[in-house]
């Protein structure tokens, strides 16, 4: 028996060795995650058809990825990967991967599946703040008077709305969006590895990972200046300004460093200890 995590670890080694494969993979991740979020927004989590719609989407994205990756994989690697997948537990994504997968598919599945549990911010900041009102100790959730520092409940509501705004902007700039997804995907794994170690220096390892991600986001924005110049960042900036007042130091720090740089809102979430996406990739 093997675990999905072990298959993903094997795939990460393969991906690390091939830049063209990484590119095809990152594009598939971006498309898959956007597809999952679009389904959630269109039909809502309560839709009884959601599961089967998601399954169809996963299969489609995996097929597309397999077609794009076909010339980039050796038959040895593919055979070894198949043997791995056969040993996965039958109640998981094993059938999906066996029928639609090639090396990289387990990680792609994992990334899409994580997108299912995005921040619950569909109604925007007002809805998130109303939900936070009972736990608010700074007054902002009820009065909307901006305090010097936003309490944890309000900061989390702001963070979720900021991420939602950022994602919808990035959907309008696909080139930048794909590259930002790639950066975030990588930093998620790096943070998970650092937090799994739990040693004294894991904090500095995390800092280094966040630093690299900020630089990579800056580079992505330079490369896609045309893309980002057509976007209206007004709302994103307003939410970033609020996030700079967060009582959560990690969120505040990212908000202060990532001025006008899309990806920062999501990076600020990943930087928070206990982030779900990061924890899902931790090895213990
Ligand atoms: Zn508050």
Q: Which of 48, 277, 1 has the alpha carbon at shortest distance from 163?
A: 277
Confidence of residue 229 (pLDDT cuts 50, 70, 90): confident
What is the structure's pLDDT at 120? 46
What is the structure's pLDDT at 271? 94
The position carrying tokens 């007002």 is 126
Judge if 130 and 91 occupy the same domain. Answer: no
Judge if 151 and 94 occupy the same domain. Answer: no
Burial of 210 (0-12, 13-18, 19+ CB in 10 A): buried
DSSP code, position 150: B
C-beta separation of 282 from 195 below 8 A: yes
Alpha carbons 116 and 109: distance in angstroms, whole number: 11
Query: Chain-wide mean pLDDT for the chain?
Result: 87
* Helices (H), ranges, the chain: 4-16, 19-43, 50-69, 75-86, 94-100, 105-115, 124-132, 140-143, 152-171, 174-197, 202-223, 225-229, 234-243, 249-257, 264-271, 276-280
What is the structure's pLDDT at 121? 42
Q: Which of 90, 89, 132, 115 has the alpha carbon at shortest distance from 28?
A: 115
- Ligand 1 centre and the CA of 167: distance in Å? 24
Tell which of 67, 83, 115 closes a domain: 115
- Ligand 1 centre and the CA of 8: distance in Å? 39
Judge if 92 and 175 occupy the same domain. Answer: no
Judge if 97 and 147 occupy the same domain. Answer: no
Q: Which residues pair with 150 in a beta bridge?
A: 246
Confidence of residue 237 (pLDDT cuts 50, 70, 90): very high
Domain with 210, as residue range(s), is 124-280
Judge if 100 and 152 occupy the same domain. Answer: no
Judge if 156 and 256 occupy the same domain. Answer: yes
Judge if 197 and 241 occupy the same domain. Answer: yes
Judge if 152 and 270 occupy the same domain. Answer: yes
Judge if 261 and 129 occupy the same domain. Answer: yes
| Segment 239-255, tens digit of pLDDT | 999 999 999 999 999 99
What is the structure's pLDDT at 119? 45
| Segment 174-227, tens digit of pLDDT | 899 999 999 999 999 999 998 888 766 777 889 999 999 999 999 999 999 888
- Ligand 1 centre and the CA of 128: distance in Å? 11
How do the residues of the chain divide into helix, strand and coil, expressed in percent and rounded to 5? Answer: 75, 0, 25
C-beta separation of 73 from 102 below 8 A: yes
Task: Tally the domains of the chain.
Answer: 2
- Ligand 1 centre and the CA of 165: distance in Å? 20
Tell which of 54, 87, 115 closes a domain: 115
| Segment 263-273, tens digit of pLDDT | 999 999 999 98
- Ligand 1 centre and the CA of 225: distance in Å? 36
3-state secondary structure of 246: strand
Q: Which of 126, 67, 145 has the alpha carbon at shortest distance from 101?
A: 67
What is the structure's pLDDT at 92? 76
Tell which of 97, 115, 133 closes a domain: 115
C-beta separation of 37 from 50 below 8 A: no
Judge if 186 and 264 occupy the same domain. Answer: yes
| Segment 104-152, tens digit of pLDDT | 999 999 888 777 754 444 457 888 888 888 888 999 988 888 899 999 9
Q: Which residues pair with 121 in a beta bridge?
A: none
What is the structure's pLDDT at 36? 86
Judge if 142 and 56 occupy the same domain. Answer: no
- Ligand 1 centre and the CA of 90: distance in Å? 45
| Segment 82-98, tens digit of pLDDT | 999 999 887 778 899 99
Q: Which residues pair with 246 in a beta bridge?
A: 150
Judge if 135 and 266 occupy the same domain. Answer: yes
Alpha carbons 136 and 150: distance in angstroms, whole number: 9
> Can you give the pTM of this predicted structure?
0.60
- Ligand 1 centre and the CA of 187: distance in Å? 29
Q: Which of 155, 184, 133 has the alpha carbon at shortest distance from 250?
A: 155
């Amino acid at each position: 028996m093997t675990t999905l995590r072990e298959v993903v670890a094997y795939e990460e080694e393969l991906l690390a060795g091939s830049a063209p494969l990484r590119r095809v993979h990152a594009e598939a991740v971006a498309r898959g995650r956007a597809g999952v979020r679009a389904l959630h927004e269109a039909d809502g989590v309560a839709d009884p058809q959601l599961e089967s719609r998601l399954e169809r989407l996963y299969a489609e994205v995996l097929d597309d990825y397999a077609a794009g990756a076909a010339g980039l994989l050796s038959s040895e690697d593919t055979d070894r990967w198949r043997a791995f997948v056969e040993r996965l537990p039958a109640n998981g994504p094993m059938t999906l991967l066996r029928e639609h997968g090639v090396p990289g598919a387990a990680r792609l599945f994992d990334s899409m599946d994580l997108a299912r549990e995005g921040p619950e911010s569909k109604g925007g900041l007002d809805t998130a703040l109303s939900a936070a009102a009972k736990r608010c100790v700074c007054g902002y959730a009820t009065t909307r008077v901006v305090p010097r520092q936003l309490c944890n409940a309000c900061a989390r509501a702001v963070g979720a709305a900021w991420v939602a705004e950022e994602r919808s902007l990035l959907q309008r700039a696909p080139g930048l969006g794909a590259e930002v997804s790639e950066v975030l995907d990588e930093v998620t794994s790096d943070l998970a590895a650092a937090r799994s170690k739990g040693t004294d220096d894991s904090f500095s390892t995390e800092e280094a990972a966040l630093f690299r991600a900020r630089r990579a986001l800056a580079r992505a924005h330079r490369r896609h200046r045309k893309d980002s110049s057509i976007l209206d960042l007004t709302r994103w900036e307003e939410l970033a300004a609020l996030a700079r007042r967060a009582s959560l130091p990690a969120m505040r720090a990212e908000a202060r460093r990532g001025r006008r740089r899309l990806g920062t809102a999501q990076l600020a979430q990943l930087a928070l200890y206990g982030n779900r996406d990061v924890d899902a990739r931790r090895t213990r």
